[in-house]
Amino acid sequence: MSNYLHAGRPPRISAEHGTFEPRLLFCACYSLFLLRAVAKRLRPRRGDAGLHQFGQRESIFREAWSAASVTVAASFMGM
């Protein structure tokens, strides 16, 4: 944890000391949220509601990553 606080990134866990469940869950959630983000962008917009926000949207990869990281963290916290 101190590496995360001082370096700003999580420590690397070797395969023999770590578990793979969080990584597998993240990969599954990421792929689902990536499909959701692509489908969301392909839908036609209604009226002028989203025209002023066109340049402010994050990329589909960033949107999927943030949604997956929140979901995985919440699932391991018991929420």
| Spatial CA neighbour of 31 closest among 60, 57, 74, 73 | 60
**What is the mean predicted confidence (pLDDT) over 11-38?**
81
**What is the mean predicted confidence (pLDDT) over 47-66?**
72
DSSP codes of every residue in 38-76: HHHHHSPPPTTTTGGGGGGPPPHHHHHHHHHHHHHHHHH
Averaged confidence pLDDT in the chain: 76
Residue 37: pLDDT over 70: yes
Plot region of 73 (φ>0 → left; ψ -120 to 50 → alpha; else → beta): alpha
